[in-house]
Amino acid sequence: MLCDGRVALVTGGSRGLGRAICVMLAREGAFVAFNYAKSDADADTTLAAITAAGGRGSAHKVSVLDKPGLTALAKSLDAAHGKIDILVNNAGFGQVVPLALMEESDWDDMLDTHVKGAFLTTQAVLRIMVRQRYGRIVNVGSLAGVKMMQAPVHYATAKAALKGFTESLAKEIGRYGITVNCVAPGILDEGVSDHLPPARKEEYLRHCALRRVGRLEEAATMIAFIASERASYTNGSTLVVDGGV
């Protein structure tokens, strides 16, 4: 198993890609803690899926914008397990809105959840990773943050910011045996791509060499690999999982 004995924290783990990442890491042997902001029922579903995959995990209702809550979460995981090996900054959401109609609050919500959330969660967990001189941080980006494509400007901006976050942080903390990478999926069959206008999906498929959208598990598999010891020399990279666009 790729992550046997590891302790992972996944943000936004109650639904969509987050849930798939939780299940994949559990299947690969990790204890998986995840946070969520809204639905207890969704969180229960993820926990059940983790268990069904033969794994163990815990759910924590803490917003990625709640700094004290994140600090307490990181401390409690460290206290319970003695470490946090893996952090997946996944929390985020999609929104279909052109710039002309975008409200300031839309912009702030998008940037806050994706970028500030990753910053706050990473800062809370980094203390533990620096101390243990080991860590795997995986930021969930998007093809929209890497290539020019039809995507909401604030979403593309937030995902591109995560790429910069990845590269700068990788340089800053590599000395402690902590790698930081970004996995940038193209359009997937569930999750934030759910409500894309059909025309955008069709355009994507026209440019995709595999002529299909991806599955959540395909992105989650890459994330589990990057979070594993097998990817020990991959650092500061953005790995695109898009079927060849």
Minimum Å gap between C-beta 173 and other proteins is: 7
Which residues, in sequence order, are CB contacts of 135 under 8 Å at separation 6+? 84, 85, 86, 87, 125, 126, 129, 173, 176, 177, 178, 179
**Which of 170, 173, 187, 188 touches other proteins by CB under 8 A?**
173
Choice between 77 and 126, CB closer to other proteins: 126
Minimum Å gap between C-beta 130 and other proteins is: 4
Minimum Å gap between C-beta 172 and other proteins is: 8
Which residues, in sequence order, are CB contacts of 51 under 8 Å at separation 6+? 57
Minimum Å gap between C-beta 86 and other proteins is: 17
Closest CA to 135 of 196, 87, 81: 87
Binding mask 103-142 for other proteins (x = CB under 8 A): -----------------------xxx-xx-----------
Choice between 83 and 200, CB closer to other proteins: 83
Residue 172 binding other proteins, by CB under 8 A: yes
**Applying CB under 8 A, which part among 29-37, 113-121, 153-161, 167-175 lies near other proteins?**
167-175
Choice between 131 and 212, CB closer to other proteins: 131
Task: Using the structure block, give the residue that is written with the tokens 């990625």.
Answer: 64
Which residues, in sequence order, are CB contacts of 151 under 8 Å at separation 6+? 142, 144
Where residue 17 falls (left for φ over 0; alpha for ψ -120 to 50; beta otherwise) is alpha
Task: Using the structure block, give the residue that is written with the tokens 């901006």.
Answer: 157
190 vs 232: CA distance, rounded Å: 30
Binding footprint of other proteins, residue count (CB under 8 A): 9
Does 155 qualify as catalytic in the annotation? yes
DSSP H or E run through 74: helix 67-81
187 vs 201: CA distance, rounded Å: 8
Identified catalytic residue from 36, 155, 176, 233? 155
Minimum Å gap between C-beta 6 and other proteins is: 19
**Which of 100, 148, 175, 195 touches other proteins by CB under 8 A?**
175
Binding-site ranges for other proteins (CB under 8 A): 126-128, 130-131, 172-173, 175-176
- Catalytic site positions: 155
